């Protein structure tokens, strides 16, 4: 990106074209979108402003900021980490290497939890385990402002990010606690959600570099078949669910059938599988019904 004396100045239009070609040549998905997002971030502008000001020459400091972002994207650092945020359920969550990047797939987890707890919407008490960035817990809290939400994670670093997101987005009815799933958690919940690690250990090496080399491995590795944590969640949630309470768990592609069997073996009823936006079976949920009822 050095500019010879006789070369015309880099404009927004030409630098986007250059970065798009560069990313495409390196096999990066959505090269044009990545180029536009990174340039908009470097300039503190919107993508619409890039179109309106497409002929504007860029100043050296602007080029320098963009150059650094391009270098990092070339080695597959996720765009969300470069921007420092990712949209989830219509809200922008801050993210960095301490947490997984929130994905549209997980919005299905939120939708299932909200739909299956509609009859308790005014006083819902929810627990979100493996909370990561807090996107699920914070969204539940904002969508159900009269609810009480507790979120847990084993990672202190992740909890720092999650707390910041909840406070910044006004989810004051969400609390966070360090815990290995349900350890030390007491009470009775109407809804329990979980997006646990579910990638089979042997498959992690085959993931895209964006995920494999940058996102926290502890939030990815689900054991030999990917379902180690899923089984623990399904078994452990029973002791904390109200009579008629709902457990909803996100799983990987191809895992819903086995996860459903886990739910049924553990005594859940009305077990359901919901598909994500890509029509992949993504969330397994069930209702806990026993004669034992926790008190609040």
pLDDT band at residue 293 under the 50/70/90 scheme:
very low
* 108: enclosing H helix or E strand: helix 104-116
Q: What is the pLDDT of residue 7?
A: 73
Can you read off the two tokens belonging to residue 241? 């669910």
Whether residue 296 is predicted with pLDDT greater than 50 in this model: the reply is no
Query: What is the mean predicted confidence (pLDDT) over 208-227?
Result: 95
pLDDT band at residue 290 under the 50/70/90 scheme:
confident
In angstroms, rounded to a whole number, what is the distance separating the alpha carbons of residues 293 and 289? 9
In angstroms, rounded to a whole number, what is the distance separating the alpha carbons of residues 196 and 252? 10
Whether residue 288 is predicted with pLDDT greater than 80 in this model: the reply is yes
Instruction: Give one DSSP letter per residue of 118-174, joined into a string.
Output: GGGTTS-EEEEES-TTSHHHHHHHHHSTT-EEEEEES-HHHHHHHHHHHHHTT-TTE
Neighbour order of strands in the sheet with 269-275: 174-178, 148-153, 125-129, 189-194, 241-250, 281-288, 269-275
* 242: enclosing H helix or E strand: strand 241-250
Predicted confidence (pLDDT) per residue in 40-75, tens digit: 999 999 999 999 999 999 999 999 999 999 999 999
Query: What is the mean predicted confidence (pLDDT) over 110-136?
Result: 96
| Structural domains for the chain | 12-75 (1.10.8.10), 98-288 (3.40.50.150)
Nearest by Cα to 39 from 7, 4, 13 = 13
Q: What is the pLDDT of residue 8?
A: 81
Query: What is the mean predicted confidence (pLDDT) over 202-222?
Result: 94
Average pLDDT of the chain is 94
Q: Determine if the pTM surpasses 0.85.
A: yes
Q: What is the pLDDT of residue 6?
A: 57
Whether residue 2 is predicted with pLDDT greater than 60 in this model: the reply is no
Q: What is the pLDDT of residue 156?
A: 97
Distance of CA 192 to the CA centre of its chain: 17
Whether residue 292 is predicted with pLDDT greater than 60 in this model: the reply is no
CB atoms within 10 A of CB 207: 13
What percentage of the chain carries pLDDT values higher than 70? 96
Whether residue 195 is predicted with pLDDT greater than 90 in this model: the reply is yes
């Amino acid at each position: 990106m050095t500019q010879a004396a006789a070369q015309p100045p880099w404009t927004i239009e030409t630098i986007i074209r250059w970065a798009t070609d560069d990313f495409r040549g390196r096999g990066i998905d959505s090269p044009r979108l990545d180029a536009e997002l990174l340039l908009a971030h470097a300039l503190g502008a919107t993508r619409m402003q890039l179109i309106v000001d497409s002929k504007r020459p860029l100043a050296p400091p602007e080029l320098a900021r963009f150059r650094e972002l391009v270098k990092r994207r070339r080695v597959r650092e996720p765009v969300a980490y470069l921007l420092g945020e990712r949209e989830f359920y219509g809200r922008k969550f801050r993210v960095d290497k301490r947490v997984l990047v929130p994905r549209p797939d997980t919005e299905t987890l939120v939708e299932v939890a909200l739909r299956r707890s509609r009859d308790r919407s005014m006083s819902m008490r929810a627990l979100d385990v493996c909370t990561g960035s807090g996107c699920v817990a914070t969204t539940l809290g904002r969508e159900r402002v009269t609810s009480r939400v507790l979120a847990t994670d084993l990672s202190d670093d992740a909890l720092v990010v999650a707390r910041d997101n909840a406070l910044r987005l006004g989810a004051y009815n969400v609390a966070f606690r360090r815990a290995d799933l349900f350890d030390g958690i007491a009470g009775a919940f109407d809804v329990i959600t979980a997006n646990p690690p579910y990638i089979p250990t042997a498959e992690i090496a085959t993931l895209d570099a964006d995920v494999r080399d940058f996102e926290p491995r502890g939030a990815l590795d689900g054991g030999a078949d990917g379902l180690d944590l899923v089984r623990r969640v399904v078994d452990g949630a029973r002791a904390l669910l109200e009579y008629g309470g709902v457990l909803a768990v996100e799983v990987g592609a191809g895992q819903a059938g086995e996860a459903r069997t886990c739910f049924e073996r553990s005594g859940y009823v009305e077990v359901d599988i919901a598909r994500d936006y890509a029509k992949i079976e993504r969330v397994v949920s069930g209702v806990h019904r026993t004669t034992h009822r926790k008190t609040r």
